[in-house]
Amino acid sequence: MVWWFATTLLVSAAPAAADEGMWTFDNFPAAKVKATHGVEISQAWLDKVRSNAVRLSTGCSASVVSARSLVLTNNHCVAECAQDLSSRSHDYYTHGYVAGTAGEERKCAGMQAEILTGITDVTAQLTSAGKGLTGEALVKARTAVSATIEQEGCPDRAKARCQIVNLYHGGQYKLYRYRKYDDVRLVFSPGVQTAFFGGDPDNFNFPRYDLDGAFLRLYEDGRPVAAPHHLRWNSVNPTAGEPVFVAGNPGGTDRQLTISQLETQRDLTLPMRLLQMAELRGRLIRFGEESSENRRQAQDLLFGIENSYKVFVGRLQALSNATFMEGKRSEEAALRSKLAGVRGKLPADFGDPWKALAAAQQQTAALYVPYSYVEGGPLGSELFDYARTLVRAAAERQKPSADRLPGYADAQLPLLEKQLLDAKPVEAGLEQLVLEFWLSKARENLTADSPYTRLLLERDSPEALSEALAASRLGDPTLRKALWDGGMAAVTASRDPIIQYALRIDEDARRLRTQWNEQVTGPSTLASEQVAKARFAVYGDTIYPDATFTLRLSYGKAAGWTYRGAEIPPFTYFPGLYERATGKAPYALDPRWTAAKDKLDPRIVFDLSTTNDIIGGNSGSPLINAKAEVIGTVFDGNIHSLGGNYGYDPALNRTVAVSAAAISEALRKVYGAGGIADELAHGG
């Protein structure tokens, strides 16, 4: 249980304190870093780090660490790739993968790597779009202008990608330009047995003994991409108190939401997600117990469910803590009380955005359950995702780019097409399980009498319908390509069961989406922009925006913490791994580590904790020293950081990383991957 962390958790509507903040590269507080940590951060330093920080389409971060574009990330960020490459005879997910030659570096299906090359402010263009409109009309106007800006900003869709980024919940809109690489290959994975040693019991805890590091390589035209200005690898042990930086893509935070929005999470969305994840977790465990092959098929999805479940438990406990919520109310009241002194900086039609957001929460409560089941679809179904994409793409591609649903504009199609058409295994038994679970929970939560239940099931049962849908042939990439290329004519003519199903429910799903935009997204967009203007009027740019899975830089130092009178040191070492090993899962050692025990230098730092402010999406981020050298990779936070979605406590919140020193040592002495270690040591 982690109730305790919320009692002292800080919030972030006021200027950031201590090592708090996930800062954009165009508003990094260099002066504050120099004052607190004595490190001079120049524009050249920022440019070097930015140009080697990688965003992966799998929801992770990474960094370029050699002249031939060797990319450092986490093992759990390549786990899906390892799973897709696995078979009955080779379980790379569990036991890892080492490419001995360039020819053995294997492409990761659906994965794209992106490096940020430029940021342009487009706030005026976005906020003027749809001026005077509300609801669905506003959403459509904003979607249209976003599509146009993205298209014009990146005319070379083969090598570039543009994305409109909403910062400060509408306070700013920026156009982010990326250099993209769609040929990403797996070079090294230690396997989940070593990268996630300690399993769920150790997850979000410290001390840790996990080698959660992996390597990919970027290719273009069949050759490794040249990266002469890559980040240098430093395999010297980190030291306590050393200033460190994390450059990555935190997925999302809710530190600047209003009380009414947080209460919706506490009372509706988080409890519903947790109940579903708990039951789906049980079904996946049962499925895996039926056979070793079932266990292999389900293991990656199960890992994701268990990790998310623990995260959401921490969030719900934070929001259920009366002391924490009282602090959030005080923060909101303080901001509103300061508005009288800055009225001249606010628009004449400012109104009461907090009241508008509270009204939108009432509509959220009315629509959330049907919206999440019908428009959201099943969690973990590749077949449904393929079918929904093909059906919607066929319809949307007939429209002008600016008139399409988000995700289907011309600038967004290349990644969508890649994720749809890249070959990867689809397991019918696992598909049937997740589809049956979705349909049975929809009937349970919507009730049998709901028109949405009748839409999803007609007169069928979840068991029979899921079996029929799982018989789809969409696992064949050749069929998917034929349907993609054939457009609406091919899609409507298809007799594939899940294509027909997606076609049948799509009109009602779109209608729900329109209702959601009209009653929730549209009103919330306008009100959130007003709240953001209030924050800027009071605090200026001394605040950082909530995370948006875009590049950020956080600063801190290598440090442990004190809790209930006990001091937790910042470093673990190899001997601790062997002391922790019991021979039983999740504390069973990979045999290669057992054999290497006497070869490993016991003085090398294995894992470490730092004061950096991170959140999910930072997984795989490089841990960087003051010289812009990579000294590790971030893979977790401690248990106190589970409430980090809503605030940061400098006394307790900690980032957890595996050291570059440990990775280098393991490559040479455990995995026999001296070639990779040499490439890192010599720069490629």
Bridge partners, residue 174, by sequence = 121, 165
- Taking the C-alpha atoms of residue 5 and residue 7, their distance in angstroms, rounded to an integer, is 6
Six token digits for residue 38: 């004595």
Concatenated DSSP letters for 346-364?
A: S-TT---HHHHHHHHHHHH
| 393 close to 416: Cβ distance less than 8 angstroms | yes
| 369 close to 448: Cβ distance less than 8 angstroms | no
Q: Which residues are CB-contacts of 389 (< 8 A; sequence separation ≥ 6)? A: 416, 420
Q: Which residues are CB-contacts of 345 (< 8 A; sequence separation ≥ 6)? A: 533, 536, 537
| 192 close to 94: Cβ distance less than 8 angstroms | yes
Residue at 202: amino acid letter:
D
Strands, DSSP E only, in 345-504? Answer: none
pLDDT confidence of residue 8 = 40
Q: How far apart are the first and last CA of the chain?
A: 46
- Enumerate domains of the chain plus CATH numbers: 3-112+184-250+553-682 (2.40.10.120), 338-540 (no CATH)
| Alpha-carbon distances, residue 491 vs 343, 386, 401, 412, 472 (angstroms) | 55, 12, 20, 21, 14
CB-side exposure of 425: number of CA atoms within 13 Å?
A: 17
Bridge partners, residue 180, by sequence = 114
- Phi (first) and psi of residue 278, to 5 degrees: -60, -45
Sites in the chain below the pLDDT cut of 70: 1-17
Task: State the SS3 of 472-486.
Answer: CCCCCHHHHHHHHHH
Bridge partners, residue 53, by sequence = 63
Q: Which residues are CB-contacts of 359 (< 8 A; sequence separation ≥ 6)? A: 523
Peptide bond just before 238 cis, omega within 30 deg: no
Six token digits for residue 90: 């080779």
Q: Which residues are CB-contacts of 334 (< 8 A; sequence separation ≥ 6)? A: 13, 14
DSSP letter (8 states) at residue 6: G
pLDDT confidence of residue 430 = 98
